[in-house]
Amino acid sequence: MKLISDPKKFTAMAAKAKQLKKSIGFVPTMGALHAGHFSLVKRARRENDIVIVSIFVNPTQFGPGEDLKKYPRCLKKDADSCRKLGVDFIFLPDKDNMYPKGYSTFVNVEVLSGLLCGLRRPGHFRGVATVVAKLLNIVQPDTLYLGQKDAQQAVIISRMVKDLNFPVKVKVMPIVRQKDGLALSSRNAYLNEKERSSALVLSKALRLAEAMVSCGQRNAGRIISRMRQLIENNKQAKIDYIAIVDQEELREVKKIKPGSLIALAVTIGKNRLIDNTVIDYN
If one asks whether residue 150 binds ligand PAF (CB under 6 A), the answer comes out as yes
Cβ closest to ligand PAF, residue 185 vs residue 198: 185
**Is the Cβ of residue 135 or residue 213 nearer to ligand PAF in the bound state?**
135
> Segment near ligand PAF (CB under 6 A), from 68-76, 103-111, 124-132, 264-272?
124-132
- At position 47, the amino acid (one-letter code) is E
* 25 binds ligand PAF, rule: CB under 6 A: no
Contact status: 128 vs ligand PAF (CB under 6 A): yes
Q: Is 132 in the site for ligand PAF (CB under 6 A)?
A: yes
Q: Which of 10, 36, 37, 277 is catalytic?
A: 37
Nearer to ligand PAF, 131 or 172 (CB): 131
Of 48, 58, 152, 260, which lies in the binding site for ligand PAF, with binding defined by CB under 6 A? 58
Asked if 131 interacts with ligand PAF (CB under 6 A), we say yes
Residues 191 and 277: their CA atoms lie apart, in Å, by 22
Closer to ligand PAF by CB, 128 or 273: give it: 128
Of 209 and 274, which CB lies nearer to ligand PAF in the complex structure?
A: 274
| Cα–Cα distance for residue pair 44/24, rounded to 1 Å | 8
> Please, what is the minimum distance in Å from the beta carbon of residue 234 to ligand PAF?
26
Of residues 153-182, which lie at the interface with ligand PAF (CB under 6 A)?
153
Smaller CB separation from ligand PAF, 72 or 269: 72
Give the nearest distance from C-beta 224 to ligand PAF in angstroms.
26
Q: Write the DSSP string, the chain.
A: -EEE--HHHHHHHHHHHHHTT--EEEEEE-S---HHHHHHHHHHHHH-SEEEEEE---GGGPPTTSSTTTS---HHHHHHHHHHTT--EEE---HHHHS-TT-------TTGGGSTHHHHSTTHHHHHHHHHHHHHHHH--SEEEEEGGGHHHHHHHHHHHHHTT-S-EEEEEPPPB-TTSPBP-GGGGG--HHHHHHTHHHHHHHHHHHHHHHTT--BHHHHHHHHHHHHHTSTTEEEEEEEEE-TTT--B-SB--TT-EEEEEEEETTEEEEEEEE----
Burial class (CB in 10 A: 0-12, 13-18, 19+), 273: buried
Active site residue 34: no
Q: Which of 29, 48, 152, 185 binds ligand PAF (CB under 6 A)?
A: 29
Q: Total number of residues binding ligand PAF (CB under 6 A)?
A: 10
The answer to whether 28 contacts ligand PAF (rule: CB under 6 A) is yes
When binding is defined by CB under 6 A, the residue of 17, 24, 30, 79 that contacts ligand PAF is 30
Dihedral of alpha carbons 246, 249, 252, 255, sign:
negative
Stretch that binds ligand PAF, among 81-89, 103-111, 114-122, 126-134 (CB under 6 A): 126-134
Hey, what amino acid is at 238? K
Q: Which residues bind ligand PAF (CB under 6 A)?
A: 28-30, 58, 61, 128, 131-132, 150, 153
The catalytic residue positions are 37
